[in-house]
Structure 1
Amino acid sequence: MKILHTSDWHVGKVLKGQSRLDDQLKALTKVVEVAQAERPDLVLVAGDLYDTATPTADATRIVTRALTALRRTGAEVVAIGGNHDNGPALDALRSWAEAAGITLRGAVRGPADHFVTGHTRDGEEWRLVALPFLSQRYAVRAGELFELTAAEATQTYADHVARLIARLAEGFGADTVNLITSHLTVVGATMGGGEREAHTIMGYAVPSTVFPSSAHYVALGHLHRAQQVPGPAPVRYCGSPLAIDFGEEENVSSVSIVDVTATTTAKVREVVIEGPTPLRTVRGTLEQLSTLDPGDAWLRVYVSEPPRAGLREEVQALLPRALEVRIDPKLLPEAGAARPRIQRSGRSPGELFADYLAQKGHVDEPTVALFHRLHEEVVK
């Protein structure tokens, strides 16, 4: 059996005000091309199809066309909701998905809803636990499907997830390929840099022991860096097919191709996804920046000059593709450093503002003059 594992498309993601729909479309086109070349039996999309719970019409069009194109390769396609997705809204598309031959699971429902079965082209049977992202708020409600005791209801998020997976995995067979896909943070895994922090903190982290040894492969989404996680079964994040923001510029954008049978260990290959516009961080003075040739990359710029009025505009004139411009942190006062006490009594707002700028390492007469002009307009 061959599986294509992908996740964290984040279609609709806007980077510093710049739409990246073209890049997202290019990345998903490459994913489809990989599927066409590899001819997998099953495609698993492990959550975060969208970047927002209210995707635009263009984002919806890209996602539905990508899922349809993956199905047209002849593979079975199963997609689950992630923490960025609106689970109920995804479930509202299930009639469309079923008509297209796609299995879509947006939110956690009854146990039978999250156990999917099928056969490969060669007739090998596979069984899949498809568990969408589960918030702490709804973890107990999902657990109530199994008639929890009062003590069980007060257990941790990890306990509830482990109970759900264990219950769902009861349907695994001794002679079937047993699979799990979910959208989770696993203890010991490395974040990719662009994940939503509130859903990666330890309160949402689960140990890899929540996955049973009877699983042949665990296909995870949520962390954007491709990586294997030690566990009772092969547990893997496939990573995102494109860098979501500048914190991920060094990640390798990829999908995972998995070869496995009911009697052999899963073998995983990474297939790199190339084509989308790269993200790049550059540093230097204005003179140094003026000599750069960043190509078509979107840029984050750290300027090695003291802050002053108009500096951002000067940088963007040199580098029109600079989406983020910051002062090099080395030039700014250290956080927590002792600051002299400012005498406020009897001093004008302009003087206080100038002292504030000096403390921040931002000594710039045009900025002070602008403050004076604005203050005069306000007090008139």
Structure 2
Amino acid sequence: MKILHTSDWHVGKVLKGQSRLREHVDVLAQVVEIARAERPDLVVVAGDLYDTAAPTPDATRLVTRALSALRNTGAQVVAIGGNHDNGAALDALRPWADAAGVALRGTVRETAAEHIVDGETADGERWRIVALPFLSQRYAVRAVEMYELTAAEAVQTYADHMKRLIGRLAEDFSAPDRVHLFTAHLTVVGARLGGGEREAHTVMNYAVPASVFPTNTHYVALGHLHRAQQVLGPCPIRYSGSPLAVDFGEEENTPSVTIVEVTATTTAKVREVPVTVGTPLRTVRGTLDELAAIDDSDAWLRVYVRETPRAGLREEVQELLPRALEVRVDPELLAAAGPPRTAQRAGRSPRDLFGDYLTSRGHTDDDVRDLFHQLLEEVEK
């Protein structure tokens, strides 16, 4: 069978005030075109369909249309909730998803069977996929108890709970003539961050070893980390990465989807298909004169300007580079000026302390000092 694995769409993303919705329309249209060209039997969307738990109507419309379009290619579609998604809201879409032929799982349900989806390819290849949405630490404990596994003590780790839960869900991975698949939204130890993930849900407290997945799993389709990568483990484990770089920490990633070909008796063969229509993210450095020579027509920019800090510097940069979404004084320039001095605070006025701070940061603009003095006078009236 052939599988198209994608994840971390983050529809509704706003980057430094810039909506990415138009880009997401183009990116998901290309993902659908790839599905039409590749003709997969199954499409797996491994979480973070949205960037926020309260998506706009436009974002919801785009995601539901994309899932429907993927289903209309003839592929079965399985999608799960991620840590950015509102799992309960995704579950509320289940009636629509069921009618559209999409297996959508937003939260962990009361019976393990809710997370098992069976199918068969046009050529008669049987497959089973376990669909496990993102679980926070407290809900991992509840899920373990709900399935009546070994009693979960509060001191046990997230990885312990996930291992028990995954083992329970995959306990029927025994049929020799069936392809066994798993999709989840989590961090696996040893994987590399993509650069734009939510830190609170990628730290080691939320990481699980690759050994939690059974050895007889033919392919594990993961979401959560935005860099496409294979993870060493007892079976083929892979992150597809995001099809659109969602933050400047991801500018070196290559957006793509993953195509997997596997049978019940052969090892999964994996290849990446690039997604090329998203606007690139770039970081540039330079003085105003150097920045004036940069062409920003093909990318969103993060600018590290090598100029002395002063009022209006951001506006000067954005006049030169209208697609500059983030403007900062170059950290290398500040580092060269040496560490800030520790000011003596006792007995000194706010004006003196603020003046010392500006001096320590290399900021010599008297207009900024005057503005601070005006604001202070307003507060002190």
- Among residues 189, 192, 199, which one is paired with 2:191 in the alignment? 189
Instruction: Give the letter aligned to residue 253 of structure 1.
Output: P
Q: State whether residues 192 and 247 of structure 1, in contact with CA within 8 Å, keep that contact through their aligned partners in structure 2.
A: yes
2:142 corresponding residue in structure 1: 141
1:169 corresponding residue in structure 2: 170
Q: Deviations over 1:254-298 (max 9, x none)?
A: 000000000000000100001111111110000100111122311
2:323 corresponding residue in structure 1: 321
Identity %: 72
Q: Deviations over 1:99-137 (max 9, x none)?
A: 011100000012010111000110110011111101101
Q: Deviations over 1:222-273 (max 9, x none)?
A: 0000000000000000000000111101100000000000000000010000
1:99 corresponding residue in structure 2: 99
Shift of 1:361: 2.2
Quick one: structure 1 residues 141 and 336, their matched pair in 2 at CA, closer, same or farther if it must change by over 3 Å? farther
Q: Deviations over 1:308-352 (max 9, x none)?
A: 11101110111111110001001225899472443653x544333
Consecutive unaligned residues of structure 1, counting only runs of 5 or more, are none
SS of aligned partner of 2:67:
helix
SS of aligned partner of 2:182:
strand
Shift of 1:148: 4.0
Distance 1:27 1:248 in 2: 16
TM-score, with structure 1 as normaliser: 0.96
2:267 corresponding residue in structure 1: 265
Shift of 1:141: 0.6
2:124 corresponding residue in structure 1: 123
Instruction: Give the letter aligned to residue 81 of structure 2.
Output: G
Instruction: Give the letter aligned to residue 161 of structure 2.
Output: H
Runs of 4 or more consecutive aligned structure 1 residues displaced over 6 Å after TM superposition: none
TM-score, with structure 2 as normaliser: 0.96
Moved more, 274-283 or 190-199: 274-283
Between the two proteins, the alignment pairs up a number of residues equal to 379
- Aligned pairs for 1:294-313 (under 5 A) are 294-313=296-315
1:155 corresponding residue in structure 2: 156
Consecutive unaligned residues of structure 2, counting only runs of 5 or more, are none
Instruction: Give the letter aligned to residue 271 of structure 2.
Output: R
SS of aligned partner of 2:60:
helix
What's the C-alpha RMSD, in Å, of the aligned pairs? Answer: 1.7
SS of aligned partner of 2:170:
helix
Distance 2:160 2:342 in 1: 51
Moved more, 166-175 or 306-315: 166-175
Quick one: structure 1 residues 55 and 151, their matched pair in 2 at CA, closer, same or farther if it must change by over 3 Å? closer
Moved more, 368-377 or 208-217: 368-377
Distance 2:339 2:321 in 1: 33
SS of aligned partner of 2:77:
strand
1:353 corresponding residue in structure 2: 354
Distance 2:269 2:102 in 1: 25
Distance 1:153 1:43 in 2: 37
2:88 corresponding residue in structure 1: 88
